[in-house]
């Protein structure tokens, strides 16, 4: 029903249509019409409404439908197959399901909204309708499972390159794979693995990029730590951004597969916003401070402390 009302408003874009007319057309009450309009507004549709004139659709958010993404996609195989949802619990969960059934490498699952978006360390991930790019890509790399943590560094390099290309020139990587602008997070990456001891069956790499999120929709605890293209005042088209992200991901993934991780880790160091800064490292059993000085060949963060160099393999690092 909501889609029918939306289609009707789209057909009459920039023209007022009365609530009465819509209610008669679709056989629902005017209150029901108003409720659907309210949801559309929450989803980013700009709809003017006046008691006597009715409703007028002015701006519709650009959706990430396959027919919008595919025509200008320059990749060889990343994103050539797109599974699209308006709403899903988590694109990672959906991607794992189709990967189990044999979906090809490079297939992406993209959603306008996630109702159960997941982050690292069992945190939830805010993913409201059309206010970011929420997607997961299925990878079937040939390297051994122990190399997998380096893949998230590869993704961070690719994403930073893509974001800078789209105008977010000050973004940089916080170890291991958060992307920050002015010390606030704009991208999160969650990698999940299906592997045996010797072989990776598949990896699902889930990526969330905040584009249109505003401070208003951010919960209080995220206001100081999270940002978006909109908050940074950098206009962006989500479809162009997704196309660029897929292109960069495919490039750096191919480099890592064909030449090993070393060249990508060198780029990581150049794009890091953390090296040279004082950090606090929280491990499961203790916390320590020091200066982040390097990334080693395995992708571990090297921290200079009063007691010498410490290598951080996993943990939470704050600048």
- Which residue of 107, 114, 227, 228 would you call a contact of ligand BTN, by CB under 6 A? 114
**Total chain residues near ligand BTN (CB under 6 A):** 20
Q: Which region, judged by CB under 6 A, interacts with ligand BTN, from 59-67, 98-106, 204-212, 301-309?
A: 204-212
Under the criterion CB under 6 A, does residue 107 sit at the interface with ligand BTN? no
* Cα–Cα dist 35/29, whole Å: 10
Q: Would you say how long the chain is, in residues?
A: 319
- Which among 9-17, 89-97, 146-154, 232-240 is the span making contact with ligand BTN, rule CB under 6 A? 89-97
C-alpha pair distances (Å), 117 with each of 94, 146, 185, 292: 11, 26, 16, 30
Q: Which of 69, 82, 83, 91 binds ligand BTN (CB under 6 A)?
A: 91
Minimum gap (Å) between residue 90 Cβ and ligand BTN = 3
Angular region, 165: left φ>0, alpha ψ -120 to 50, beta rest: alpha
Residue nearer to ligand BTN on the CB measure, 119 or 263:
119
Q: Are 71 and 39 in contact (CB under 8 A)?
A: no
Binding test (CB under 6 A) with ligand BTN, winner from 40, 69, 83, 190: 190
Position among 106, 128, 188, 290 found at the interface with ligand BTN (CB under 6 A): 188
- Quick note: the x/- pattern for ligand BTN over 215-244, rule CB under 6 A, is ------------------------------
Assess 208 for contact with ligand BTN (CB under 6 A): yes
Q: Quick one: three-class SS letters along the chain?
A: CHHHHHHHHHHCCCCCECHHHHHHHHCCCHHHHHHHHHHHHHCCCEEEEECCCEEEEEECCCCCCHHHHHHHCCCCCCCCCEEEEEEECCHHHHHHHHHHCCCCCCCEEEEEEECCCECHHHCECCCCCCCEEEEEEEECCCCCHHHHHHHHHHHHHHHHHHHHHCCCCCCEEECCCEEEECCEEEEEEEEEEEECCCCEEEEEEEEEEECCCCHHHCCHHHCCCECCCCCCCCCCCHHHHHHHHHHHHHHHHHHHHHHCCHHHHHHHHHHECCCCCEEEEECCCCEEEEEEEEECCCCCEEEEECCEEEEECCCEEEC
Kindly state the smallest distance separating residue 206's Cβ from ligand BTN, in Å.
3
Query: What is the signed CA dihedral for 108, 65, 48, 29, rounded to 10 degrees?
Result: -100
For ligand BTN, the binding residues in 123-162 under the rule CB under 6 A are 123, 125, 127, 134-136
By CB under 6 A, residue 206 contacts ligand BTN: yes
Q: Which stretch binds ligand BTN (CB under 6 A): 33-41, 184-192, 256-264, 265-273?
A: 184-192
If the CB atoms of residues 127 and 300 are measured against ligand BTN, the closer one turns out to be 127
With binding defined as CB under 6 A, does residue 92 bind ligand BTN?
yes
We find the least distance from the C-beta atom of residue 190 to ligand BTN, in angstroms, to be: 4
Q: Does 119 bind ligand BTN (CB under 6 A)?
A: yes
State which residue has the least CB distance to ligand BTN.
188
54 is a site residue for ligand BTN (CB under 6 A): no
Q: Does 81 bind ligand BTN (CB under 6 A)?
A: no
Closest approach, Cβ 117 to ligand BTN, in A, equals 4
Contacting positions for ligand BTN (CB under 6 A)? 90-92, 114, 117-120, 123, 125, 127, 134-136, 188-190, 206-208
The binding site comprises 90-92, 114, 118-120, 185
């Amino acid at each position: 029903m909501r889609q029918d009302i939306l289609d009707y408003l789209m057909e009459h874009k920039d023209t007022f249509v009365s609530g009465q007319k819509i209610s008669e057309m679709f056989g629902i009450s005017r209150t029901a019409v108003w409720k659907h309009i309210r949801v559309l507004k929450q989803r980013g549709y700009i709809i003017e409404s006046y008691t006597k004139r009715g409703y007028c659709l002015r701006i519709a958010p650009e959706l990430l439908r396959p027919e919008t993404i595919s025509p200008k996609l320059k990749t060889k195989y990343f994103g050539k197959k797109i599974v699209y949802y308006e709403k899903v619990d988590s694109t990672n969960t959906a991607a794992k399901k189709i990967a189990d059934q044999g979906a090809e490498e490079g297939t992406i699952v993209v959603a306008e909204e996630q109702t159960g978006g997941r982050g690292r360390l069992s945190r939830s991930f805010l993913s409201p309708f059309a206010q970011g790019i929420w997607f997961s890509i299925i990878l079937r790399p040939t390297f051994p499972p122990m190399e997998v943590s380096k893949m998230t560094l590869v993704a961070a390099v690719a994403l930073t390159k893509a974001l800078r290309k789209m105008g977010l020139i000050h973004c940089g990587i916080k170890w291991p794979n958060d992307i920050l602008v002015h010390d606030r997070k704009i991208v999160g990456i969650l990698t999940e693995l299906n592997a045996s001891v010797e072989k990776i069956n598949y990896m699902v790499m889930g990526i969330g990029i905040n584009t249109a999120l505003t401070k208003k929709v951010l919960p209080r605890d995220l206001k100081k730590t999270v940002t978006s293209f909109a908050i940074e005042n950098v206009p962006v088209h989500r479809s162009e951004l997704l196309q660029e992200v897929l292109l960069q991901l495919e490039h750096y993934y191919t480099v890592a597969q064909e030449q090993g991780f070393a060249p990508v880790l060198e780029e990581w160091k150049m794009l890091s916003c953390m090296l040279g800064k004082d950090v606090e490292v929280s491990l499961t059993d203790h916390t320590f401070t020091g200066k982040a000085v390097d990334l080693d060949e395995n992708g571990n963060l090297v921290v200079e402390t009063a007691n010498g160099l410490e290598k951080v393999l996993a943990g939470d690092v704050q600048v």
